[in-house]
Amino acid sequence: MKSITVLMGLAAISALSAPAAAAVTYAFTAYSSIGSPNYRGGWVFTAPDFVTAALRVEPAALDSCFVEGDGDTPSCGRQRFVPDQPTSGPDGTVFTDVILFGVLSPIESGSYPYYFPGNAFATPGTYDSIVLGAEQRGRLVVTGPPAVPDAPAWAMLIAGFGLTGAALRRQSAIAQHHWPAEA
């Protein structure tokens, strides 16, 4: 009985160490005046976890997407996440996370690169694109799982510690009890 109680307590405690499957939302907006026509657009994508490896996202997998162009009727194409991409900047090579914004258009289709600080795909926050300047700018908002466990997780943690402590206290009491000698 004692070992079952200890195991239940340890199981409740270890449940907190396994991260819960929580979605990560990426919201991207962009503007480009490089080339013709000028494009404005953006998309929202929900991933099961942070993007840490190259990922291609088809338009159907996006939560939403819009693209506008001057004198054009563009639509969303395939979007790409490229983490840890070496990029030449004014201070030398830096590692950045790159979004290739896919645009389909009768005039000019392609993927437009937007560079964000390294580790932006794996860290919740708001990031403005770097490197290209005013002609091509973007913003990425990454919303991830909460860093603090929710109330049921705290309740399990406290119950686990309580059960483990009770089992250990009971075991100690049994070990300290003096049994009468057998005749």
Reported as a single tens digit per residue, the pLDDT across 9-22 is 445 455 544 445 57
98, 165: one domain: no
Q: How many domains does the chain have?
A: 2
CB 142 within 8 A of CB 120: yes
- Cα–Cα distance between 54 and 81 in angstroms, integer? 5
44, 104: one domain: yes
Q: Is residue 10 part of a domain?
A: yes
- Cα–Cα distance between 123 and 50 in angstroms, integer? 8
Q: Is residue 108 part of a domain?
A: yes
- Cα–Cα distance between 183 and 180 in angstroms, integer? 9
93, 12: one domain: no
Arithmetic mean of pLDDT, 32-51: 85
Residue environment code for 96-130, b if the CB has 16+ CB neighbours within 10 A, otherwise e: bbbbbbbbebeeeeeebbbbbbbbbbbeeeebebb
130, 153: one domain: no
CB 11 within 8 A of CB 17: no
Model pTM score = 0.65
Taking each helix axis from N to C end, the angle separating 151-176 and 2-17, rounded to the nearest 10 degrees, works out to 150
- Residue 45's domain spans which residues? 24-143
Q: Is residue 33 part of a domain?
A: yes
Comparing 157 with 178, which gets the higher pLDDT? 157
